[in-house]
Structure 1
Amino acid sequence: MRKTTAEAQPAPSNAPGNVGDVRKANLARVLAVIAGAHSEHRLSRADIATRSKLTKASVSSLVADLLESGLIIEIGVHRDGERGRPSVGLILNPARCVIGMEINVDYISAGLVDLSGKLLTHQIVPRLNRAVNAEQVIDALSELSSQMQQAAEAQDLKILGGGLAVPGLVDEKSYTVLQAPNLGWEAQTLDVRKLLSETKTRFRLFNEANASALAQQQLMEPAERDFLFVSGEVGIGGGLIIDAELFAGPQGHAGELGHVVVQPEGKSCSCGGRGCLETVAGQEAILTAANLGVAARGVSRQQRIERLYQALESGQEPANIAVADAGKSLGVAVASAMRLFNVSTVVFGGHFAALERWLLPATTSSLRTYAPSIAGQAKLRFSPLGQTGALIGAAHSVVGDLLESPHQLVG
């Protein structure tokens, strides 16, 4: 989602397009001004006319359309120091939202995000999805989506669209997961109509790491327009933000940090390669190296992860060595990415964030060893979003579509 700014720039006087195109653009300009206002600053129609550089008459007409669409509402506002009848302010409608969803290796999740980007509610359901038919997983997610839709209805919220994030390469246009090695999926077209059939805006499909990067972007300072987001789950993904925009490459597959080779003679990877970062720093790789592999039957991955934290807290050597090795390899991969993309800020999410205390020293040391010329400028951060990042990012991007193209809901 592109960042919304409080000040909208006027279109060039020689811009092409018919009257309908101009009105669509002006609807977006007015909505951008409203969305960009501080949460405590309710703009009047006159305020919007000043900021958008449109006439008061035009703004009144455009606001009427936006009110009818349900994207904004009127609210009474007292100006500081004024008495008497309050003026009428305009804000994004808090009763409109978008549903975000995620499919990962061992869970599915869904949540509601309002037009300001706030996560209203969410639910994470443990579920083993590896090597399970995509249709079955979509059916399970459909049930969770239905629960979210019922929750929205109970709170008088209207869902305007939806987004889904998956841990793999995707073709958004055809809703196809091209390759998701950790799910065991290849060329799987998803029937997203089961997830949200009643909507006037399109449903969007995302790579999980890209969606998480978009969610993290909303937490960054305005000056931080370039960063690499590293997502750590069973697999490892990367999302690259350049000049405040997601950079996914010509075919949308940029950022596959988990499959950067860090040990050329290392273990075989699910992608078919060898020595990938994922084979050392992926969740399963760390658990196995810490002697917490899949040997114990009836023990879930979450239970093994909890045992890993306990082992780290008590200073058990296998666990500490496993995380240190992961941090070292992570530093190697991140050093290469920082040089390649010319970014200095790296944000770690997923299980990397949970392992910050033990992971950061090894990663920092690795950067100093293998990339001393850039280690001093490196800003390593850890995301607070946890398992909600991907669904928030997917939903937030659809919110961005609505704010940039409100004509979809007008008329």
Structure 2
Amino acid sequence: MTTAHGGKQTGNRLVTGIPGPQSAALQQRRDRAVAAGVPSVLPVATERGGDGLLVDADGNELIDLASGIAVTGAGNPAPAVADAVAEQVSRFTHSCFMVTPYESYVRVCEELGELTPGDHEKRSALFNSGAEAVENAVKIARHATGRQAVVVFDHAYHGRTNLTMALTAKNMPYKHRFGPFAPEVHRVPMSYPFRDPEGMTGQQAAARATTQMAKHVGAENIAAVLIEPIQGEGGFVVPAPGFLRAVADWCAEHGVLLIADEIQTGFCRTGAWFACEHEDVVPDLITTAKGIAGGLPLAAVTGRAEVMNAVHAGGLGGTYGGNPVACAAALATIETMRTRELAAAAQRIEREALRRLDALAERTPAIGEVRGRGAMLAMEFVRPGTTEPDTEFTARVATACHEAGVLVLTCGTYGNVLRLLPPLVIPDALLDEALSVIEHAVAAG
């Protein structure tokens, strides 16, 4: 079956409708076995992956602009990751680092010390998920400072555990009826250039936020300010230039630790190893996960040695944290990112995609803004002539892309942002094909 999109042929990628009969059959089994609270964006049964492709049980090839939510940037699988995992599994799968240590855990921590921003002495601790890393970063900050308050931002997303739900801004679906939540979490305005008053600079937006911190919380009570350098689930919000730097300077002045949540932005996703580098900001603590291990569950907190080492022995850890198989995957992923120069690849994706998306925005009044960095790009849809979110239009565009075999995700506090997270290894031809599908879906509206 050959499908045309805006006059451009996408070839024989789709052999059935989406979902096909094998995927539909799995969906019926899923409905009988899996809790309804665990959703899926697209009900297709993935059987294998590739550089920019997912192949389902019916033989349909889907162009992947999701990367498992920014996880498989180095490939799905990257050959070196598959080899490293197989080799490690053949030797041992687990011992628990807190029982008997192993070199791969130490090597991952050494790599994190080298790669993360700043040339100060660092230490790391490994965990399983982004939410777990964020929770532990807050624990560390509170212990090291002796303070309790944590400041977060409008539109932020930091996870689904009890503490991270308190840190996350959006109620539905993340927080609704799951309370009560952890105390001593305070929220201030984020720099959101598309929705801020016209002409507001990054420094002015930072002053708005830090004034609230000082007034409503008191700097002397704040253990940490937790921020995504580019917000993820909140809408791929890129703060105005200078905002992150000004917040960091305020934290340093008042003895407040700056925690950078780089779980979605890290590991070359934005065209640098970490998004903080775009603003020359060196956080006190940085949380990482997602792209760190090529699809295996691994997360980390990396920070200033004196801060990380402030916690007593036994205060950090977990049975599976830094599992040897995940560590092997992480080391191979990092090496793949180096050898294939995937930060530069993300920059190339940005140039090509923004060229197409900016041109699309010029002829589409429903696109309020195109934004992002590297291979972390988005379009925010609004009712023409306003900033009123158009969630329905966004959903129609996403559905049209899915039906045409292009996997995209939506996000944003208002559900009106289409986000693109292609693998950093996506071939140029596949990216071009996917962008043509998006253009057609937006034009059809």
TM-score norm. by structure 2 comes to 0.30
Q: Could you say which structure has the greater relative contact order, defined with CA pairs below 8 angstroms and 6 or more residues apart?
A: 2
Higher share in strand: 1
TM-score norm. by structure 1 comes to 0.32
Which structure has the larger Rg? 1
